[in-house]
Amino acid sequence: MHFSPHTARALSVLPMAEPTPQPLIISLRVGEDEAALVLSTDPAADESGVAWLLSDIDGWHATPPTEAVVTPLGLSDRSVAAARFPKSPREITVHGYALTGSFDTAEDARNRLYRAFDGYARELPIVVEESTPKRISARTAGAIETAPLGPTHFTFAVPLILPDPLKYGLNLRRKATDAQAPGELGTTFPLEFPLTFTDSGRGTGRMTLTNSGTAPTYPVSVLNGPLSEGWRIVNEATGDFLSFSTGLGHGQRLRIDHAARTADINGAPIAALANGSWWPLQPGRNPVRFLAPAYHPEAAWTASFYDAYL
């Protein structure tokens, strides 16, 4: 680390036992542009003469809390668990130290901290650098606490809440495929599952989407016409499908946000026409298919997503 002798002496006597350093985390970046702030486990003084030492992100390595949903079975001693326990918002607290060379710089640093973590009316974009960097969106959940350590340094604790409790990778993954038509085999639409084909017809209609995280992640699907009504996109890992009671003409584009459960054709909403489920991608390999009543070389499906982590 690159500190002045005064700062180095102060750092050597900082009470680092509580909270404890986390060597698995390298840094945390909050905000964007001029309001951005970088906290590091091995900091150097920034252009303002402040070294931002990240000592702990309490709650970061725990999985999100879940809500146990059970229904009593009449007057018996048993209950039935819901098919899925929903995840609750995650709460974390960022702990650290601001190390400066003067009283005025320390006061300035405190104001910069408040500006960077001003998430009371908006979500803050945060990137945590570790072996696999991850991003989150958070709101400030309470008072930002600071305490002086002499005239030039101070500690801080920032409570945050994540309405979406999952963490996401930084790299957008994207794959595309054409549509597969089952061929002239007497197949009628809508299709019934499970699907059995003895002829591939025209088009491939297949791709594998790999979610390298530890939690289901929801893709954004973009379909380009022309596409006859009766098409569907299928996640063969789960058997779930999604379709809409409409076709697409030449030059029309359907965008589907599986997480938000929204869909539009060239900006016109059509979510009410959905059939099936707004399925996610499970951790690992997800073989998916794009099926259509008739093949057209311009019909295509592009899926985009980020890896998701507990």
Per residue in 161-186, pLDDT tens? 999 999 999 999 999 999 998 763 34
Q: If pLDDT is split at 50, 70 and 90, which confidence band does 23 have? A: low
Helix, strand, coil percent values for the chain (each to nearest 5): 10, 40, 50
Sequence letter at residue 37: L
Which residue type is seen at 221?
S
Distance, in Å, from the CA atom of 6 to the CA atom of 59, rounded to the nearest integer, reads: 33
In the DSSP assignment, the letter for residue 34 is G
Q: How far apart are CA 267 and CA 188, in angstroms?
A: 30
Domain map of the chain by residue range? 5-60+86-165, 173-309
The CATH number given to 173-309 is 2.60.120.860
pTM (2 decimals)? 0.84
CA atoms within 13 A on the CB side of 157: 12
- DSSP secondary structure string for all residues of 249-290: -TT-EEEEETTTTEEEETTEE-GGGEEE----BPSEEEEEEE
pLDDT digits (tens, 9 = 90+) for 49-104: 999 999 999 999 999 999 999 999 988 889 999 888 889 999 999 999 999 999 99
Residue 192 has what pLDDT? 55
Over the stretch 203-223, which tens digit does the pLDDT of each residue have? 799 999 999 999 999 999 999
Q: Does domain 5-60+86-165 have CATH number 3.40.50?
A: no
Nearest to 299 by CA among 257, 247, 256, 262: 247
